[in-house]
Structure 1
């Protein structure tokens, strides 16, 4: 969405006022903007990697998921063994 001329003029006035009022803040914001622009440029220049695709889970996330799956499988197996043993022990 494009800014109107009045909005751009007001933003420029606010920017100039803040820069005059606090030069350190203006320098920090300029540094931040440069870093963001550099990071975006690096991200655009990387071949073969989508900008906003799904991220791969980290190694620790995979380890945790596999551990939970293993624990759930072991608990289910133990419950099945207990129920079968109880059913086999009941007199008919």
Structure 2
């Protein structure tokens, strides 16, 4: 919803009174607004980057995946060795 001209004029007057009354407050508010704007810009950039392509898995995800794969391979190898040993030990 757009502001009316009277509302904009009143807001401008309030702003000028506050700026004149406490310049440090005005500087703090300006600094805060700049930081918020930078953060919003960074958030938009991240969202644009994330929307472009597939997200890469993190390093910890890759380490966990490789660890599980290694464990599964070792278990399968041990089972094969056990079954072959049992088959070789049975008398014919």
Q: What TM-score comes out, normalization by structure 1 length?
A: 0.51
Structure with bigger helix share is 2
Give runs of ≥4 in structure 1 deviating > 2 Å.
Answer: 33-37, 39-44, 49-52
- Once the two structures are TM-superposed, the CA of residue 53 in structure 1 deviates from its matched residue by 1.8
Name the structure 1 match of 2:42: 39
- Once the two structures are TM-superposed, the CA of residue 39 in structure 1 deviates from its matched residue by 2.9
Q: What TM-score comes out, normalization by structure 2 length?
A: 0.51
Matches within 5 A, 1:13-52: 34=37, 37-39=40-42, 41-43=44-46, 49=49, 51-52=51-52
- Once the two structures are TM-superposed, the CA of residue 51 in structure 1 deviates from its matched residue by 2.7
Structure 1: give runs of 5+ residues left out of the alignment.
Answer: 1-11, 13-30
Structure 2: give runs of 5+ residues left out of the alignment.
Answer: 2-32
| Number of equivalences | 63
Name which one, 1 or 2, has greater alpha-carbon Rg. Answer: 2
Matches within 5 A, 1:1-92: 12=1, 34=37, 37-39=40-42, 41-43=44-46, 49=49, 51-92=51-92
- How far apart are the structure 2 equivalents of 1:85 and 1:91? 12
Bigger drift between 75-84 and 35-44 goes to: 35-44
